[in-house]
Homo-oligomer: A and B are copies of this chain.
Amino acid sequence: MDYQIWLIVGIAGGAISIAVAVYLYFWVLRQDPGSEKAQQVAGWIRSGANTYLKRLYTALASLALVLGIIIALIFSFNFETIGTTGVQIQPGMGVVMAACFIIGALSSAVAGYMGMRVAVEANVRTATAAQKSLQQAFRLSFYAGAVLGLAMVGLAVIGMSLIFMLTKDSHAVLGFSFGASTLALLAKAGGGIYTKTADIAADLVGKVELGIPEDDPRNPAVVADNVGDNVGDVAGMGADIFDSYVASAVAVMILGASFASAMQYKYTVIPLILCTIGTFASLLGIEFVKVKEGGKPGAALNRGTIITCIIYVAALLILSFTKIIDAGIFWSATIGIVTGVIIGFTTDFFTNDQYKPVQETARVSTSGSAITIITGYSYGLISIVPSILGVVVATLLSYNVAVSNGLPGIYGIGVAAVGMLSISGMIVSADAYGPIVDNARGIAEMAGMGQDVIERADVLDSAGNTAKAITKGFSISAAALTVLALFAAYSEVVKANGIDLNISLREPMVIAGVFLGAMTPPLFSALLMLSVTHNAFDMIEEIRRQFHEKPGILAGTEDPDYDRCVGLAAHGALSSLLLPAFLAVGLPLVIGFLLGPNALGGFLGGAIFTGVIFALLMANAGGLWDNAKKFVETGKFGGPGSEAHKAAVVGDTVGDPFKDTAGPSLNTLITVMSLVASLFAPIIAVFHLF
């Protein structure tokens, strides 16, 4: 059987997915946009979001162009002119690589942009629909989320299939993946800084200093805050999962190309087959996400995920019986998807207010914010354990299942990662739903839509929070397996260039590399978080200035200058990205060219281990503090306004940059590091100082 046909099927599947996304987009637009007041509020958010996106994409476009030119130059350079022989780069590779890089960056940007566009239209329509029924509001917001999920997987599958079809070179697809991941990292980190700058500044001046409620239209930062939800959670998360999705597939393509002969494309194409099947499964699964009036939106989202998994595994089983994929691949992919779902639901234990961690953190808040922080942080540390156990079990099982079916074990680990991520269409849809309903709640509040709309929005919102927690556990675990596969891909690329990598922990260079790698994710997190507090300080000054210069704002007789706050947060976020971007793209190259490929191998290993651990810690502790605060707000331990509430708010504020800025960028960081190492491995293998 010719596996080339699967490339066609992939492109077709991707096209269908995009078509459905476009259809849903226009369906959303046709829904009732609501009252004039609601539309005015939504207009502020939309225009703020556009301002930010314009700035972001202008900045990123220049950066992508610069990086593209650098890649083109390096890969076109004749290393023999400086006396270095043995660098194996085919002529013309420079332009191809640069083109793939830019296409990858572009696809990632388009997916994020589409998600944003629909989100800023869907928020007001969801709020309006919530005036009628929970059911309609839920359907609207979920379908809007699905626009992002489906557009993303569609673009990814088409991009990868097309590039491989044209170049027959998995290294070119690596360039595509590097482009997607670099853009994702900057979008995620920039969005994360932006959203928390606005959130913290709005809260500290609004809620704490002046005692006005959240989402009060008199607060000059309120639009920036609501824009932030879209920027960080929709555009950022879309770009983020896009990048893991592509990276896992590319890692397996490279591993497949390394052990199968060049003419036997089967093992190179397999990940694309898995992604295509996952796309179809997601398209079907989305149909099952429905809720009746009075039903539970959270249960509906989980049902959709589970059904998608079942469809996916069933389809793989058929492919396995018809010998299109090997039994080893079926089992590895199944292990991946099952582990992903289990880890996702386990994460829920630490962030759901029905269980001990959140309740205990809320309870100890009665003794002040310091105890809230210590307790939540400690549970965050413990929450690392189940996910790591899941990753370890998935690693060992998928490795051994592959080996016992005659495949290289590491290929099995990669397939498990692809298995986890191939239902991303569904996962992202459920996740993007969250910020849309969060925004709808904000609009309902700002437009004064009445208490029962806000209550319905709260029900939708809390389902969104659970979905978000599950997605985070899922995406971090998937990223862990993905980078393990990328790590193996790196050593294959080095090997293909004539060097057998020695990354034993007994080598001092490897130990040095691991230490340096291990310190990078904490340093990266620190830089992002300090940017948030630094920028929030500037913004607090601006808010105070507006209240001071225009007393009419607080009286409600004058409109605040929302745009200045949006612009300030955007400018701050983008100018904070330079050093983190260097850590991600530059530092691996410095280590590689300076200390050599073995040290770089150790560096990647170290970054993976602490990257995963800090990502889990920050995401889960942040989610836990958020929900402990909400738990107190339901009237527990004194309820709103009590000492416990004040302490819980401090926990929530600390958790904000943990869960929305630093935490979610870390898996993209380690992906980008692994990709840049593999991409430049042919040169580093030959050309290094020590």
Closest to A364 in B: B533
Residue A385 lies at the interface, judged by CB distance under 8 Å to chain B: yes
Chain B contacts of A395 at CB under 8 A? 508, 511-512, 515
Known contacts: A388-B515, A508-B396. The answer to whether A532 contacts B609 by CB under 8 A is no
CA distance A606 to B609 in the complex (A): 8
| A392, CB-defined interface residue at 8 Å | yes
Judging by beta carbons under 8 Å apart, are A388 and B613 in contact?
A: no
Q: Of all chain B residues, which has the CB nearest A502?
A: B504
Contacts of A526 on B, CB cut-off 8 Å? 377-382
Partner of A373, one of B364, B409, B654: B654
Q: Does A617 contact B (CB under 8 A)?
A: yes
Rounded to whole angstroms, the CA-CA distance of A255 and B514 in the bound complex is: 23
Nearest B-chain residue to A381, judged by Cβ: B526
Tell me which of B381, B484, B512, B530 contacts A375 (CB under 8 A).
B530
A588 touches B (CB below 8 Å)? no
Does A373 contact B375, Cβ atoms closer than 8 Å? no
Over the window 76-111 of chain A, the binary record of Cβ atoms lying under 8 Å from chain B Cβ atoms (1 yes, 0 no) is 000000000000000000000000000000000000
Indicate if A374 sits at the interface (CB-CB under 8 A).
yes
**Cα–Cα, bound, A648→B613 (Å):** 28
| Alpha-carbon separation in the docked complex, A606 to B371 (Å) | 29
In angstroms, Cα B634 to Cα A468, docked, is 45
Measured CA separation A509–B409 after assembly (Å): 11
B514 and A385 contacting across the interface, CB-CB below 8 Å: no
Are the C-beta atoms of A654 and B388 separated by less than 8 Å? no
Indicate if the CB atoms of A605 and B522 lie closer than 8 Å: no
**Interface presence of A657 (CB below 8 A):** yes
**What distance in Å separates the Cβ of A562 from its nearest Cβ neighbour in chain B?**
22
The answer to whether B506 touches A488, judged by C-beta atoms less than 8 angstroms apart, is yes
State whether A392 touches B516 (Cβ < 8 A): yes
Establish whether residues B657 and A514, one from each chain, have CB atoms under 8 Å apart when the complex forms. no
Find chain B residues with CB under 8 A from A657 CB. 374
Verify if A63 is at the interface (C-beta below 8 Å from B). Answer: no
- Given the interface pairs A369-B369, A610-B609, A617-B522, the reply to whether A409 lies near B378 with Cβ below 8 Å is no
A523 in contact with B382 (CB, 8 Å) = yes
Taken together, the copies of this chain in the complex come to 2
Report the contact-size class of chain A (Cβ under 8 Å from the partner): 35 or more
Once the chains are docked, how many angstroms separate the CA of A512 from the CA of B395? 7
> Considering the complex, which residues of chain A in the window 489-546 have a beta carbon less than 8 Å from any beta carbon of chain B?
491, 501-506, 508-512, 514-516, 518-519, 522-523, 525-527, 529-530, 532-533, 536-537, 540
B512 with A392: CB separation less than 8 A:
yes
**What distance in Å separates the Cβ of A40 from its nearest Cβ neighbour in chain B?**
32
A39 at the interface (CB under 8 A from B): no
The answer to whether the Cβ of A116 comes within 8 Å of any Cβ in the partner chain is no
Residue A368 at the chain B interface, CB threshold 8 Å: yes
CA distance A377 to B529 in the complex (A): 9
Q: A374 near B650 (CB under 8 angstroms)? A: no
Q: Which residues of B contact A516 (CB under 8 A)?
A: 388-389, 392
Interface hits, A208-223 → B, CB 8 Å: 208
Evaluate whether A392 and B515 lie within 8 angstroms (CB atoms) in the complex, with A413-B508, A522-B381 already known. Answer: yes
Contact present for B519 and A384 (CB under 8 Å): yes
> Could you tell me the distance between the alpha carbons of A523 and B613 in the complex, rounded to whole angstroms?
11
A487 CB within 8 Å of chain B: yes
Q: Answer whether A396 and B522 are a contact pair too, CB < 8 Å, given A204-B368, A370-B653.
A: no
For A522, the chain B residues whose CB sits under 8 A away are 381, 384, 613, 617
Report yes or no: A515 in contact with B609, Cβ–Cβ below 8 A. Answer: yes
Which residues of chain B are near A653, meaning CB under 8 Å? 368, 370-371, 374
A425 sits at the interface (CB 8 A): no
Given A204-B367, A388-B516, A506-B501, are A511 and B484 neighbors across the interface (CB < 8 Å)? yes
Give the docked Cα–Cα distance between A542 and B536 (Å): 41
Question: What separation, in Å, do the CA atoms of A601 and B389 have in the docked complex?
Answer: 18
A391 to B508 alpha-carbon distance, docked (Å): 11
Distance of A346 from chain B, by nearest CB (Å): 14
Q: Smallest CB–CB gap between A296 and chain B, Å?
A: 32
Q: Which of B364, B371, B502, B525 meets A381, CB within 8 Å?
A: B525
Nearest opposing residue in chain B for A605, CB measure: B505
Q: Cβ of A410 < 8 Å from any Cβ of B?
A: yes
Instruction: Please give the distance in Å from A195's CB to the nearest CB on chain B.
Output: 15
A593 within 8 Å of B (CB atoms): no
A568-622 residues with Cβ-Cβ distance < 8 A to B are: 601-602, 605-606, 609-610, 612-613, 617
Does A399 sit at the interface, judged by CB under 8 A? Answer: yes
Instruction: Please measure, in the bound complex, the distance between the C-alpha atom of A654 and the C-alpha atom of B508, giving whole angstroms.
Output: 36
Q: Which of A381, A413, A650 has its CB near the most chain B CB atoms (within 10 A)?
A: A381
| A505 and B602 contact, CB distance less than 8 A | yes
CB distance from A649 to the nearest CB of B (A): 8
* Pair B503/A378 contact, Cβ less than 8 Å: no
Q: Is the CB of B609 within 8 A of A514?
A: yes
In the complex, which residues of chain B have a beta carbon less than 8 angstroms from the beta carbon of A491? 506
Contacts of A612 in B (CB 8 A): 515
Query: Is B610's CB under 8 angstroms from A518's CB?
Result: yes
Residues of B within 8 A of A503 (CB): 504-506
- Does B384 contact A508, Cβ atoms closer than 8 Å? no
Most chain B beta-carbon neighbours within 10 Å: one of A208, A371, A602: A371
- Could you tell me the distance between the alpha carbons of A500 and B534 in the complex, rounded to whole angstroms? 52
Docked CA distance A100–B20 (Å)? 73
Q: Report the minimal beta-carbon distance from A606 to chain B, rounded to whole angstroms.
A: 6
- Beta-carbon contacts of A2-35 to B below 8 Å, as 1s and 0s? 0000000000000000000000000000000000
Interface residue ranges, A against B (CB under 8 Å): 200, 204, 208, 364, 367-371, 373-375, 377-382, 384-385, 388-389, 391-392, 395-396, 399-400, 409-410, 413, 484, 487-488, 491, 501-506, 508-512, 514-516, 518-519, 522-523, 525-527, 529-530, 532-533, 536-537, 540, 601-602, 605-606, 609-610, 612-613, 617, 649-650, 653-654, 657
Q: What would 21 A/B residue contacts be, using CB atoms closer than 8 Å?
A: A204-B367, A367-B536, A368-B650, A369-B369, A370-B653, A375-B529, A375-B530, A377-B654, A379-B526, A380-B526, A381-B522, A381-B523, A389-B516, A392-B512, A395-B508, A410-B506, A410-B508, A413-B508, A502-B504, A503-B505, A515-B612
In addition to A377-B529, A514-B609, 11 A-B residue pairs with Cβ atoms within 8 Å of each other are: A200-B371, A364-B533, A364-B537, A371-B533, A374-B533, A384-B519, A385-B523, A388-B515, A389-B516, A503-B506, A609-B609
Across chains A and B, which 10 residue pairs bring their CB atoms closest together, nearest first?
A370-B653, A381-B526, A378-B526, A381-B522, A399-B508, A503-B505, A378-B529, A388-B519, A392-B512, A505-B605
